[in-house]
Amino acid sequence: MTDVIWLPSPAKINLFLHICGQYPNGYHNLQTLFQLLDVGDEIGFAVHDRATIELKTPMAGVAEQDNLIIKAAKALQIHTGSNCGAAIFVKKHLPMGGGIGGGSSNAATVLLALNAFWKLNLPLTELMDIATTIGADVPVFIRGKTGFAEGIGEIITPMDIPEQWYLVANPGVHVSTPDIFQHPDLPRNTQMIKAHEYSFESTRNDCQNLVCNLQGKVAKLLQWLVHYAPSRMTGTGASVFAVFNNKHEAQNVLRQLPNEFKGFVAKGTQTSVLHTKLEDILRAS
Ligand SMILES: C[C@@](CO)(OP(=O)(O)O)[C@H](O)COP(=O)(O)OP(=O)(O)OC[C@H]1O[C@@H](n2ccc(N)nc2=O)[C@H](O)[C@@H]1O
Ligand SMILES: Nc1ncnc2c1ncn2[C@@H]1O[C@H](COP(=O)(O)OP(=O)(O)O)[C@@H](O)[C@H]1O
């Protein structure tokens, strides 16, 4: 078998998340600042010239046909008519369904990797269109830049923000994204802002109060964390994060995290670690 090429699949957090309205198809018009992180899953690719796509590492609780990795590979095959295939391997490090975009990032890594390894040469804009059909969170991982996002999350303006460190903590409860977006108590009329008006202090996560009311452990974790640093929920939860100026301070708080919670420390990156690694591989080949 050909060699397996491993690529990173980074996590994101939403530094803020405003819900500004709802489209006729039910999706919400939102504004958010996607911060890419230097921590994530790893995905391995062994490409071949048969059209079969196999996931060699089954994922507990996710049927193969529902896995965003398989959905992404098949969507690319259908879009391009390619007869190439791949065996795909995963080292899963990120919690699933935690608001840190693990599944969405996996899908983006597959699209970018197979576009390169199958020699399809689709531009990023076309890959972002395919990505949007897989999930609202996938395009930002294709764009590969920390950025201000609008629409359903697919209109992305890269934004330079100071390098910061984040403690990302998971309360061990699951929050369903569709359930939050369908909930009658979700605020849906936050006034839109311009990207340059963003500050952490003047923004919020519109899903946070609702999720805290539904899941007491999220509220408890935030109450603990905010004692140490500015803290907020990411996405539709259930993970939360705290912002630090350096790694040492973040690690210090992580060491004190109560046993009932899990967490990790990550650095915010302007450019996706995936894009950097993929460019290195392509330059060397
Ligand atoms: C709101 C965010 C912020 O990052 O939440 P998290 O998933 O990260 O928690 C994301 O954009 C979510 O992205 P993603 O999880 O890919 O969403 P999708 O699979 O496309 O949609 C899941 C469900 O969320 C709802 N949804 C999603 C995005 C959006 N702008 N409006 C919505 O109403 C829809 O009801 C849809 O059925
Ligand atoms: N490759 C994958 N990795 C993680 N979750 C996946 C994957 N494929 C499908 N899923 C499903 O997508 C859901 C959302 O996953 P994820 O993207 O990690 O969370 P979130 O959108 O909350 O950040 C999971 O609960 C899981 O059922």
Which tens digit of pLDDT belongs to each residue from 32-43? 999 999 999 999
pLDDT band at 75 (very low <50, low <70, confident <90, very high): very high
CA 207 vs. chain centroid, Å, equals: 17
Q: Name the CA radius of gyration of the chain, rounded.
A: 19
Give the span between the Cα atoms of 170 and 233, in whole angstroms: 10
pLDDT of 101 reads 96
> Do residues 182 and 262 both lie within one domain?
yes
Section 247-262 average pLDDT: 97
Index of the ligand 2 atom closest to the CA of residue 101: 23
pLDDT band at 1 (very low <50, low <70, confident <90, very high): low
Answer whether residue 185 is part of any domain: yes
pLDDT band at 245 (very low <50, low <70, confident <90, very high): very high
Lowest mean pLDDT: which of 94-103, 120-129, 216-225?
A: 94-103
> Do residues 180 and 129 both lie within one domain?
no
pLDDT of 155 reads 94
> Do residues 10 and 76 both lie within one domain?
yes
Q: Are 86 and 119 in contact (CB under 8 A)?
A: no
pLDDT band at 96 (very low <50, low <70, confident <90, very high): confident
DSSP letters spanning 242-285? EEESSHHHHHHHHHHS-TTSEEEEEEEESB-HHHHHHHHHHHH-
Task: State what percent of residues in the chain have pLDDT above 70.
Answer: 99
Section 184-193 average pLDDT: 97
Answer whether residue 195 is part of any domain: yes
Q: Are 176 and 214 in contact (CB under 8 A)?
A: no
Query: Which DSSP helix (H) or strand (E) runs through 19?
Result: strand 5-22
Tokens of 100: 């840190």
Answer whether residue 246 is part of any domain: yes
State the CATH number of the domain containing residue 140. 3.30.230.10
State the CATH number of the domain containing residue 199. 3.30.70.890
> Do residues 202 and 75 both lie within one domain?
no
pLDDT at 190 over 90: yes
For 237-257, letters b (16+ CB in 10 Å) and e give bbbbbbbbeeeebbeebbeeb
> Do residues 243 and 140 both lie within one domain?
no
**Residues with active-site annotation:** 12, 137
Binding residues: 95-105
* CB within 8 Å of 31: residues ≥ 6 apart: 16, 17, 18, 20, 148, 149, 150, 190, 192, 193
Answer whether residue 154 is part of any domain: no
pLDDT of 285 reads 84
> Do residues 73 and 195 both lie within one domain?
no
> Strands 262-269 and 165-170: what pairing?
antiparallel
pLDDT band at 97 (very low <50, low <70, confident <90, very high): confident
> Strands 53-55 and 85-91: what pairing?
parallel
> Do residues 254 and 279 both lie within one domain?
no
> Do residues 205 and 120 both lie within one domain?
no
> Do residues 43 and 131 both lie within one domain?
yes
> Do residues 171 and 135 both lie within one domain?
no
> Do residues 53 and 93 both lie within one domain?
yes
Answer whether residue 149 is part of any domain: no
Index of the ligand 1 atom closest to the CA of residue 29: 30
Enter the ipTM: 0.95
Q: Residue 95 in 3-state DSSP?
A: coil
pTM, full prediction:
0.96
Binding residues for ATP: 95-105
Tokens of 203: 């923004």
Nearest ligand to the CA of 17 is: 1
- Of all protein residues, the one whose alpha carbon is nearest to atom 3 of ligand 2 is 103
pLDDT of 67 reads 97
Answer whether residue 209 is part of any domain: yes
Q: How many domains does the chain have?
A: 2
Domain, as residue range, for 253: 165-269
Answer whether residue 30 is part of any domain: no
Section 198-209 average pLDDT: 98
> Do residues 137 and 208 both lie within one domain?
no
pLDDT at 170 over 80: yes
Question: How far away, in angstroms, is 235 Cα from ligand 1 center?
Answer: 8
- Of all protein residues, the one whose alpha carbon is nearest to atom 7 of ligand 2 is 103
Question: How far away, in angstroms, is 27 Cα from ligand 1 center?
Answer: 8
pLDDT of 224 reads 98
